[in-house]
């Protein structure tokens, strides 16, 4: 892994807090770069996915595109909206005693 030196401009109080946490964790503030890199990795989606793949011992050759995901998504023959509407109508009738004659929309 190639390392790159960089300069950042951050709020002094925030940096002081970060240094304090790093020194509490590592025993020295000299490990600031290591802590900063770990913090960046914690918020990197690709790092999180890579860590999960490694932890599960999976082998992923490529990631599917959004189009592939949409194309391969399972299709169901029943509408979730219709199921929810039926559940709500049933609950309304049970609690309030009302019965609606709704027209089903196709």
**pTM given for the model:** 0.47
Domain hosting residue 49, numbered range = 1-61
Total domains present in the chain: 1
pLDDT of residue 1: 77
Instruction: Answer whether residue 96 is part of any domain.
Output: no
List Cβ neighbours of 23 (8 Å cut-off, separation of 6 or more): 29
In three-state secondary structure terms, 22 is: helix
Q: Give CA separation, 70 vs 47, 52, 67, in Å.
A: 24, 23, 5
Separation of alpha carbons 75 and 64, rounded Å: 18
Provide block-wise average pLDDT over 10 residues at a time, the chain (106 residues): 90 92 82 88 88 90 89 88 91 82 60
DSSP code per residue over 25-48: HHSSGGGHHHHHHHHHHHT-HHHH
Residue 97 belongs to some domain of the structure = no
pLDDT of residue 56: 93
């Amino acid at each position: 892994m190639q390392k790159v030196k960089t300069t950042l401009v951050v709020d002094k109080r925030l940096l002081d807090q970060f240094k304090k946490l790093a020194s509490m964790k590592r025993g020295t503030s000299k490990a600031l770069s290591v802590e900063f890199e770990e913090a960046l990795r914690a918020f990197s989606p690709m790092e999180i996915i890579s860590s999960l793949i490694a932890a599960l011992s999976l082998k992923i050759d490529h990631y599917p595109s959004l189009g592939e995901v949409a194309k391969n998504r399972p299709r169901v023959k029943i509408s979730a909206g219709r199921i929810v509407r039926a559940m709500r109508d049933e609950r309304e009738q049970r609690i309030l005693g009302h019965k609606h004659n709704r027209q089903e929309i196709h």
